[in-house]
Amino acid sequence: PEGGDKSWGEAWGLSEPGVGTPWRLERPPEEELPTVQSRRWARALRALTTVLLFSLILGSSLVLWAYIPGCRPRPCETLVCWNLLERYLASENRNVAPCTDFFSFACGNNNRTRNSFQELAEENKNRLRRILEAPSSWHLAPGKEKAFQFYNSCMDTGAIEAAGAGPLRQVIEELGGWPVSGNWTPLDFNQTLSLLMSQYGHFPFFRAYLRPLPIPPHTPVIQIDQPEFDVPLKQKQEMKIYAQIVREYLTYLNQLGTLLGGDPSQVQQHASMSISITSQLLQFLRPQEQRRAQGKLFQVVTIGQLQEMAPVIDWLSCLQAIFTPMSLNPSHFIAVHDLEYLKNMSRLIEKELSKHREFLQSHMILGLVGTLSPALDSKFQEARRSLSQKLGELTGGPPVPTQPRWMTCMEEMEAFFEPTLAALFVQEVFSPSTQSAAMELFTAIKDALIARLQSLPWMDEETQREAQDRITKLQVNMGAPEWALKPDPATQEYDDMQLGPSFLQSFLSGIRSSRARIIRSFLQPFPSHRWHVSPWRVNAYYSISDHVVVFPAGLLQPPFFHPGYPRAVNYGAAGSIMAHELLHIFYQLLLPGGCPACDSHALQEALQCLERHYAGFPLPSGISFNGSYSFLEDAADTGGLAIALQAYNKRLLRYRGETTLPNQDLSPQQLFFRSYAQVMCKDPNFQDPQDTHSPAILRTHGPVSNSPAFARHFHCPPGAPMNPSIRCQLW
């Protein structure tokens, strides 16, 4: 104590100096000597107690000092952590208070807008590029060297420019020629259509593909769907915008005709008729929402029945050409997504065949040129890029960047050589130790969800047991399909792939080879799950039909995941993504009537609370929020973050030795939330109308502000935007 004149008792306020103890008793004179002796013993005892207490404190301090390095987070000084720190510093804005605007704190660097998912996708393409540009580094199985040869051929722009439009004119001649060129030998319409679809990958009037049905037993079936149109015309579109789009598309078609050597006046007429055919086909389309409301997302019919309803197409011969070596007959069942469209399409083609057969041929040829433009010379590619740019400006879409040649070639490689690229990509970036670490994280997230299900106030006990059972029976595919993780070196993937003499011919051979490979895979015994994404993609998903959740290797990469990262990073980023996908297993419970045995009042209160919670945050000008449209994703975001945090907290209780990023004043818990926000970094001023997620700002602010732990660890004052007085408990 200061001054050194207080006893231990005085120092702790147990007595007052200079004042006798109030309960002190007067003693007779004969007891004075023993009292003095007793006091001496008391002083000795007090001194001994002081020494013992000091020794105990000193010993405890030494013990604590020995354990502090294991408890206090130490900086991660590895290269991967320094690289992660560089990413964080490049995106964050420390001038913004995290309790006020956590999205801007993490993602608000004014010098550069970073989209974490897009950047990761581009980095994965760069990894593939490095693989393809160093073929000598790999031991290739027989046949797989064709992938490298194709890439080199695609990159040989000198040879492609020298060939010009010659290879394309040869393809057109194989289809009977083009009326505008004057060299036209009309083939049977169905013969031309079969060649277009089976040999050249162009589907001008409808799409046909092989895919499992979306309902049990999920058997593979031929599906007939609407075509994909180059021009974004809509049934309900402002006339001024409609006219501008038509003008731009007409300019593009005229350019194609000129590049093919057509007479400008004839090209103009045929291009106008092609737009007229496209416009009429677009009028026949019915939006998916309308078909869903009518309970007609698809109808199962036989090929013979479809022949009667849309007779102008020779369905059996066309489908047989596309899906060789399948054996088809009129009794074969197929799934049709919009039967009314096919009926109207058949009538339109029949009318055009009787009056303007040459215009129908031009329509198919011009569409084919657009499909093949990636394999043509720079004049065709520039015409295509210019069209995309101008249509994007008219429809409010994002700008179309001029991408380097290697990226164009990579996109074609993805379609034609996926087996080879998948095996090489996994070998490069997803080692067994990385897969093991990812599975360990997923197990922790899954266990946290199972534990959390037991405390949900709106879920009854029976539903809780069923939900836990569904989680227990869930399958997980991590990294890549089995065939990529353990490729068969004896497999000859590309026997039917013929390279040259021009790159266009190699491109067309790739179209045929990849389709045949897909068909062969569907004809084999049905596996437990067919991946919907390539291993280098960044899209995780839950498959309802197979009850499997998929996390591709391309997603489990920096900055979302790395075995050498601080665990707070992996749990906050990859862990929250995993929990988000797991919650999609139960999306049906959140829909009206989806959980009859649950407390519907408590559930609706939680859902309405969450919608009000999200709607309370300000958004940039021009960005809208529709809670009824995004509520399933909002629920998965908010619950995913809470489950990942619960799993991380459990991990902290069991293990010591946490690390954090160097030169940062972030605790592990703060780093957890910081890493979650990094996942959501995206241009706040852009909104994709087709995206069912909330805007990026809400995907950050909604979940973190609903977490009391965030406010506690960032010391947010009550009433701050990230520390509201009311929070919602859905998951």
Q: What are phi and psi of 364, to 5 degrees?
A: -70, -40
DSSP state of 403: -
Amino acid identity, position 292: R
Q: What does each C-alpha distance from 689 to 119, 251, 387, 623 come to in angstroms? A: 21, 27, 21, 10
77 neighbors 662 (Cβ within 8 angstroms): yes
Q: Given 230, 338, 412, 581, which residue is catalytic?
A: 581
| Burial 459-492, CB ≥16 within 10 A → b, else e | beeebbebbeeebeeeebbbbbbeebbebeeeee
Give the closest residue to 581 by CA, choosing from 627, 529, 628, 633: 633
Helix axis angle, 418-429 to 405-416, nearest 10°: 110
Residues for the chain: how many in total?
Answer: 731
List beta partners, residue 476.
549
Which long-range contacts does 3-8 make (Cβ < 8 Å, 24+ apart)?
Answer: 7/46, 8/46, 8/50
Answer for the pair 210, 518: CB distance below 8 angstroms, yes or no. Answer: yes
Q: Are 696 and 683 in contact (CB under 8 A)?
A: yes
Burial class (CB in 10 A: 0-12, 13-18, 19+), 499: middle
Query: Is residue 581 annotated as a catalytic residue, yes or no?
Result: yes
Q: Which two tokens stand for residue 358?
A: 């040459």
Tokens representing 298 are: 């698809």
Decide if 461 is catalytic. no
The CA-atom distances, in angstroms, between 35 and each of 29, 237, 244, 305, 690 are: 10, 106, 111, 117, 92
Residue 56 in tokens: 């105990």
Q: What is the 3-state secondary structure (H, E, C) of 509-548?
A: HHHHHHHHHHHHHHHCCCCCCCCCCCCCCCCCEEECCCCE
Q: Can you tell me which residue has the tokens 């007609």? A: 296
DSSP code of residue 716:
P
Instruction: Please list, residue by residue across 317-346, b when 16 or more beta carbons sit within 10 angstroms of its beta carbon and e when fewer do.
Output: ebbbbbbeebebeeebebbbbbbebbebbb
Provide φ and ψ at 448, rounded to 5°: -65, -40
Query: What single DSSP character describes residue 556?
Result: S
- Rounded to the nearest 10°, the torsion over CA 698, 699, 703, 709 is -100
Is the C-alpha dihedral spanning 679, 683, 685, 689 positive or negative? negative
Q: Confirm if 575 and 641 have CB atoms less than 8 A apart.
A: no
Cα–Cα distance between 263 and 265 in angstroms, integer? 6
Residue closest to 343 by CA, chosen among 374, 315, 382, 369: 315
User: One of 418, 493, 637, 658 is an active-site residue; which one?
Assistant: 637
Q: What is the DSSP letter of 135?
A: G
Inter-helix orientation angle 576-583/668-680, to 10°: 60
Element housing 415 (H / E):
helix 405-416
Structure tokens at 574: 């990859």
- What are the structure tokens assigned to 585, written together? 């297993």
Residue 362 tokens, joined? 């031009």
Q: Which of 215, 213, 195 is nearest to 204 (CA)?
A: 195
Report the amino acid identity of residue 555. Answer: L
Is 717 within 8 Å of 100 (Cβ atoms)? no
As annotated, the active-site residues are: 581, 637
